[in-house]
Amino acid sequence: MKVTGTGSRSMMFAHGFGCDQQMWDAVAPSFEQDFRVILFDYVGAGRSDLSAYDSSKYSSLNGYADDVVEIGRTLGFHGAVFVGHSVSAMIGALASLKAPEMFSELVMVGPSARYLDDDSYHGGFSRAQIDELLEFLAENHLGWSAAMGPAIMGNPDRPELGERLTSSFCHTDPKIAREFARVTFLSDNRDDLPAIKARTLVLQCREDIIAPSTVGEYVHSRIPGSTYVLLDATGHCPNLSAPEEVTAAIRAFV
C-alpha cells in the first residue's frame, strides 16, 4: 500500500483484474495536493503477499471488498472517494454497502455489473464465450495474456499500451489469475446497484470489448442519482490510454 498527498479527505484508487496499483500512475498524482491518495494491490496482485491469498475468501468479490473496508478502517476513512477500474467498480460498490460511512463518492471506470448476457440483459458475453475465455486462461496463461492484452486495451495504433497490459497479465500468479478471472466474469451485482447511497460517477469508454456502452448505461440507470460520462477514450483502460481525460472527469465530479 502507498499513501501520498496532503489533503484532509482520502481518495483510494483500485486496479482491475490482472493489474496492480501502477495502472494509476498517470492519474493518481494529480490529486495529491487536495487528497490523501491511497494506492494498493489486491492480495495476489503486484507486490502483495501471495501467501495471504485464500481461495475460499476470494471466491466472491465480497472477499476483495472486505479488504477494502479493512484498509479504510485502518486509515480512518470517512467520506472518502473510491475510484475503481473495471471489476474494482463493483468491489467498491460492495465496500460502500458494507461500510456506508466510509465512501461518500464512487467513481466507476469501465464498470460491469454482470458480463454474461441474461435474457433481456446484454452483458457483452455468452456463457460459451466466457467458458472459452476461462479455459484458454487455464491452459495457457502466457498465451492468453499475449492475446487478450492488446484486445482489451484497444488503441491498436499505440501498441505499447497493449504490451504494457500484456506484461501486467503475465506477471500475475497463474492460479490466482485463473480464480480471480472466474470470480470477475461470473459475478452478478445487478441487484446491489439500487442500494448504493454514495454519489456515483460512471465513466464509460467507446469501443470497449469488455464493458460495452450498453453495460455502462445499465449501471448508470440502476444507481440512483448517478452521473454518466461517455469518454472519448477507446478500449477498456482509459487510465492508461487517456489519463488526462479520466483525471479531468474525476476532478469535475469530486
**DSSP conformational letter for 125:** B
Q: Where are the alpha helices (DSSP H) in the chain?
A: 61-74, 87-98, 127-139, 141-153, 159-170, 174-186, 213-222, 238-241, 243-253
Residue 236 annotated among the catalytic residues of the structure = yes
Kindly report the backbone phi and psi dihedral angles of residue 103, in degrees, each rounded to the nearest multiple of 5, phi listed first: -120, 125
Residue 229 CB neighbour total at 10 angstroms: 18
Residue 208 annotated among the catalytic residues of the structure = yes
Q: Which of 10, 208, 220, 241 is catalytic?
A: 208
By C-alpha distance, which of 130, 237, 120, 118 is closest to 184?
Answer: 130
Q: Which of 88, 220, 236, 241 is catalytic?
A: 236
Residue 118 annotated among the catalytic residues of the structure = no
Beta bridge partners of 194: none
Q: Which of 10, 48, 86, 187 is catalytic?
A: 86
Angstrom CA distances, 178 to 17, 105, 135, 251, stand at 10, 31, 9, 35
How far apart are the C-alpha atoms of 210 and 213, rounded to whole Å? 10
Residues forming the active site = 86, 208, 236
